[in-house]
Amino acid sequence: MTVPTLLKRWKALENGLELSAETFEALCGHFESRTKKWLQEERQAQQRRHEDPTAMEIYDTTVGKGTRSREIICIIW
């Protein structure tokens, strides 16, 4: 590769990193309240797991047959 080609690729990389960082920050801000809720639920599940094993079901990530990705995204947002 020549130096001009490498410089073009470097510029594209820098622009992509900046956009990725902005998007990541926006997502973090959007999910901040939900993250606090999820952490609280996780703490409660860990505390109750010996008395009530079903408390650990919050970690179940299986998706029922026929569930579409659009439905999952709606649940998350």
**Residues 77, 73: Cα–Cα separation, whole Å:** 6
Read off the pTM.
0.48
CB 45 within 8 A of CB 58: yes
pLDDT in tens, the chain (77 residues): 788 888 888 888 888 888 888 888 888 888 888 888 889 999 999 999 999 988 888 887 765 665 555 555 555 55
| Residue-level pLDDT at 76 | 56
